[in-house]
């Protein structure tokens, strides 16, 4: 019987599946003593009626009178009927449960959890929503600490418990909307300072700076709290800066050169750095698209800083690599483009023919986020590969970076086309990285790779899962048939089943397959028939892998990888 009880507790869904199919659970079946059944006796028929006698049929008058008496009795309060009439749930049942007004992310999480149990949401979110509200502790510290972004095994238990307390308090305030409206100022003071007894109330920007970066996107995308103020806090600013002030920190304004553009922003070279300008929160459409919102940029900012942590290689670091582009600084700016930026934009337009709208159309109050990044070189589309060794170097560096990020943060890039891989040549012959505690090196043949643009990426920071819900952008999957990039988006949708918050490292493998196709079909470099066969064989094997962590140990990379001596 103890075996039956233990099995019933641990394998509820398994027992349910057996029961709904009309079978007997093994846990119950083991307690039954099976014996051979004897032949059942034949049922005797009814005795014959005596001849010449009439039998009166039953009238059930007594029974009828009894039930009539019961029907006439009036209950003071009728008990509600149960909604579910069976012990076992048959299939997927959805009850019409009203969801309170929460932030959009929490609301989506609740809906996906009720309707789709296969997509594992953040364990931290589970704790937040299922843990009763706790009193908010005072939040200490002034500076943003990159260690806050690390996974749970790299964070202290005390820090995690404080973050859960803050999350729980914030979420309870968001749910209790009526209470918030009745006493908004009091709730605001309690939220920011954590104590009513303090002499003064800290600013919202300072309070957000003291939180883990990963908590901001959950707590600050409601109508009650200003996402723009939260974005300022994450970037460490009391107020927006001017574009010229940010650029003047890195070079003379007259030396600014535009080097690239995208749908949502422009890229300018400032000395040895690249400044990417992304307009936000405006009503003016940019290149035909609606501008990004502050809450969207908060996640991209957090994600960029989280990947920066992979560059650390001191101490007992389990995962480390330098292939993801380094984010030097992040600033929120406001105002029109400076004349030096306008000139740099027009010079690019004259030489290359810009597809973007002229930045002079931005109003005086337009806001931007400026990403100051290291200069990673040219993108793969325009970079000229010399030989097969450089092609191999590209593949091994990208695969190693994805494998390390998978191991550290369940990272998926989800948009690794040839415009998001930068290449430049240097004097280094090897690239060091750490994968799950193993120190390794990869032969680079003098080629340095940088991965950029994490707009569509998914990451688990250890505090929260950040992702972009691509189901809200159906046009992304309607690209031309046969186009390798468009086909990769559609394959991603099949792999994820349109559930984008879940962890699906197979998407990284899909982009590795895309890169092999690009090398075979789009790039020209010195190679022979054996090199072609090796690439095609790699593609076949890649199709069987479920993650970059598996792909990095493919035989194709065996000559390029060097294991460090223990």
> How big is the chain, counted in residues?
566
Does residue 415 have an active-site annotation?
A: yes
Helix, strand, coil shares, percent, the chain, to 5: 40, 15, 45
Is the per-residue pLDDT at 150 higher than 70?
no
Inter-residue contact 395 to 509 (CB < 8 Å): no
Q: Is the pLDDT of residue 290 over 70?
A: yes
- Given a cut of 70, whether residue 197 has pLDDT beyond it is no
Could you tell me how far CA 508 lies from the centroid of its own chain? 14
Checking if the pLDDT of 204 tops 70, the result is no
Residue pLDDT, tens place only, 394-403: 999 999 999 9
565 pLDDT tier (thresholds 50, 70, 90): low
pLDDT of residue 17: 31
Q: Given a cut of 60, is residue 385 above it in pLDDT?
A: yes
Percent of the chain clearing pLDDT 90 (strictly above): 54
Mean pLDDT (the chain) is 74
How far apart, in whole angstroms, are the C-alpha atoms of residue 453 and residue 117?
30
The answer to whether 171 and 102 are in contact (CB under 8 A) is: yes
pLDDT at residue 45 is higher than 80:
no
**What is the band of 47 on the pLDDT scale with cuts at 50, 70, 90?**
low
Among the ranges given (27-31, 382-386, 511-515), the one the predictor scored with the smallest mean pLDDT: 27-31
> Which of the four pLDDT bands, split at 50, 70 and 90, describes residue 70?
low
Element (H, E) at 97: none
Catalytically annotated residue among 415, 453, 501, 554: 415
**8 Å CB contact between 495 and 506:** yes
Distance CA 108, CA 98 (A): 13
At residue 190, does pLDDT exceed 80? no
Given a contact cutoff of 8 angstroms between Cβ atoms, the answer to whether 258 and 267 are in contact is yes
- Using the CB atoms, write b or e for 61-87: b if 16+ within 10 Å: eeeeeeeeeeeeeeeeeeeeeeeeeee
Least confident of 181-195, 442-456, 492-506: 181-195
Q: Which pLDDT score, from 0 to 100, does residue 313 have?
A: 82
Task: Write down the pLDDT at residue 254.
Answer: 93
Helix axes 388-409 and 506-521, enclosed angle (nearest 10): 170
SS (H, E, C) 167-184: HHHHHHHHHCHHHHHHCH
- pLDDT of 135 > 70? The answer is no
Q: What is the pLDDT of residues 218-250, one digit of tens each?
A: 344 444 568 999 999 999 999 999 999 999 999
As a whole-number percent, the residues of the chain with pLDDT over 70 amount to 61
The torsion angle over the Cα atoms of residues 382, 441, 511 and 528, rounded to 10 degrees, is 60
CA distance 457 to 444: 26
| Mean pLDDT on 200-219 | 40
Question: In the beta sheet, which residues pair with residue 265?
Answer: 262
User: Hey, is 429 helix, strand or coil?
Assistant: coil
C-alpha distances (whole Å) from 2 to each of 10, 26, 87, 302 are: 12, 13, 22, 49
- The confidence score (pLDDT) of residue 360 equals 92
Q: State the pLDDT at residue 387.
A: 97
Using CA atoms, how far apart are residues 213 and 206, in angstroms rounded to an integer? 13
pLDDT for 264 equals 84
352-369 confidence digits (pLDDT tens): 999 999 999 999 999 999
- Alpha-carbon distance of 90 to 101, in angstroms, equals 30
Work out the average pLDDT over 243-265.
Answer: 93
What would the 3-class secondary structure string for 353-380 be? Answer: CCCCCCHHHCCCCCEEEEEEEECCCEEC
pLDDT (average), residues 109-113? 49
Higher-scoring residue by pLDDT: 332, 261:
332
- How far is residue 230 from each of residues 138, 299, 302, 465, measured CA to CA in Å? 18, 11, 12, 18
Q: What is the pLDDT of residue 65?
A: 75
DSSP three-state, residue 255: helix
Q: What does the pLDDT look like over 73-85, one tens digit per residue?
A: 544 444 444 433 3
| pLDDT beyond 70 at 185 | no
State the Cα torsion 114-115-120-125 to the nearest 10°: -30
Name residues whose C-beta falls within 8 Å of residue 162's C-beta, 6 or more positions apart in sequence: 137, 139
Give residue 109's pLDDT.
46
Question: What pLDDT shows up at residue 308?
Answer: 95
Express each pLDDT in 408-454 by its tens digit: 999 999 999 999 999 999 998 999 999 999 999 999 999 999 999 99
| pLDDT tens string 505-554 | 999 999 999 999 999 999 999 999 999 999 999 999 999 999 999 999 99
């Amino acid at each position: 019987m103890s075996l039956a009880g233990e099995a019933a507790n641990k394998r509820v869904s398994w027992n349910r599946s057996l029961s709904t199919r009309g079978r007997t659970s093994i846990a119950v079946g083991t307690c039954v003593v099976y014996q051979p059944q004897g032949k059942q006796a034949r049922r005797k028929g009814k005795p014959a009626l005596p001849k010449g006698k009439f039998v009166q049929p039953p009238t059930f008058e007594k029974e009828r009178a009894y039930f009539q008496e019961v029907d006439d009795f009036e209950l003071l309060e009728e008990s509600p009927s149960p909604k579910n009439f069976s012990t076992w749930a048959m299939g997927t049942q959805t009850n019409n449960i009203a969801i309170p007004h929460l932030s959009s992310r929490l609301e989506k999480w609740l809906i996906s959890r009720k309707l789709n149990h296969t997509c594992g949401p953040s364990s931290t979110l589970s704790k937040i929503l299922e843990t009763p509200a706790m009193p908010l502790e005072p939040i200490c510290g002034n500076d943003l600490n990159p260690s806050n972004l690390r996974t749970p095994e790299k964070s202290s238990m005390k820090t995690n418990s404080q973050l859960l307390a803050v999350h729980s308090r914030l979420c309870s305030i968001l749910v209790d909307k009526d209470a918030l409206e009745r006493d908004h100022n009091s709730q605001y003071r309690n939220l920011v300072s954590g104590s009513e007894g303090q002499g003064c109330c800290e600013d919202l920007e300072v309070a957000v700076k003291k939180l883990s970066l990963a908590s901001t996107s959950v707590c600050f995308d409601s109508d009650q709290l200003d996402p723009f103020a939260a974005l300022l806090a994450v970037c460490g600013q009391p107020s927006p800066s001017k574009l010229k002030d940010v650029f003047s920190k890195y070079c003379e304004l007259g030396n600014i050169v535009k080097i690239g553009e995208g749908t949502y922003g422009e890229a300018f070279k400032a000395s040895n750095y690249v400044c990417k300008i992304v307009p936000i929160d405006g009503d003016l459409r940019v290149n035909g698209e609606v501008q990004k919102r502050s809450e969207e940029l908060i996640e991209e900012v957090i994600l960029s800083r989280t990947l920066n942590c992979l560059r650390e290689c001191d101490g007992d670091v389990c995962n480390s690599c330098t292939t993801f582009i380094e984010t030097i600084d992040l600033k929120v700016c406001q105002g029109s483009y400076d004349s030096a930026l306008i000139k740099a934009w027009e010079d690019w337009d004259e030489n290359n023919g810009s597809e973007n709208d002229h930045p002079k159309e931005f109003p005086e109050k337009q806001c931007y986020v400026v990403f100051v990044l290291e200069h990673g070189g040219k993108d793969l589309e325009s970079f000229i590969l010399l030989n097969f060794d450089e092609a191999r170097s590209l593949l091994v560096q990208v695969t190693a970076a994805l494998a390390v990020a998978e191991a550290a943060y369940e990272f998926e890039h989800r948009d690794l086309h040839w415009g998001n891989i930068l290449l430049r040549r240097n004097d280094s012959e090897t690239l060091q990285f750490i994968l799950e505690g193993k120190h390794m090196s990869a032969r680079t043949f003098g080629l340095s790779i940088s991965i950029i643009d994490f707009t569509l990426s998914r990451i688990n920071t250890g505090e929260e899962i950040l992702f972009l819900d691509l189901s809200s952008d159906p046009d992304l999957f309607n690209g031309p048939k046969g186009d390798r990039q468009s086909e990769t988006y559609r394959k991603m949708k099949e792999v994820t089943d349109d559930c984008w918050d879940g962890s699906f490292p197979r998407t990284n493998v899909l982009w590795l397959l895309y890169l092999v196709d690009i090398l075979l079909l789009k790039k020209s470099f010195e190679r022979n028939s054996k090199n072609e066969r090796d690439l095609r064989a790699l593609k076949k094997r890649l199709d069987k892998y479920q993650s970059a962590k598996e792909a990095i140990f493919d035989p194709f990379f065996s000559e390029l990888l060097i294991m460090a001596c223990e």
